[in-house]
Amino acid sequence: MPCWNGSIEIEPLPGGLSNANFVVTDAAGRHVVRFGQDFPFHHVFREREVMTARAAHAAGFAPAVHYAEPGILVTAFLGAKTFLAEDVRANLGRVAALLRGFHREMPS
């Protein structure tokens, strides 16, 4: 892909319900690559996902989008974990503050 800087290393990234996900490392760092298609029946449209990801990054709530084309999304790799229900309960104040900020500061 044209977004890579030098040679790359690829490793699978487990998870995701409708995507094939990989961590790609190049000279610039680590990135997440998501290959996915639209699923209109489930209201999944990748073009909207890219727009939402860019807006969420601009508001400080998501990793930077480095590259996108139909069916492919490349973002910065955060090395974070997805919260389980018990994680949300244990961090409810932080989660609520992030959601309030998201709704208050989301760019148009």
- Could you give all domains of the chain from N- to C-terminal order, each with its CATH number? 9-80 (3.30.200.20)
pLDDT of residue 108: 61
pLDDT of residue 12: 96
| pTM (2 d.p.) | 0.80
Q: How far apart are CA 30 and CA 75, in angstroms?
A: 9
- Contact criterion met (CB below 8 Å) for 24 and 30: yes
In order along its 108 residues, the chain shows pLDDT tens digits of 899 999 999 999 987 778 899 999 999 999 999 998 878 888 877 888 899 899 888 878 889 999 999 999 999 999 888 889 999 999 999 999 988 887 887 666
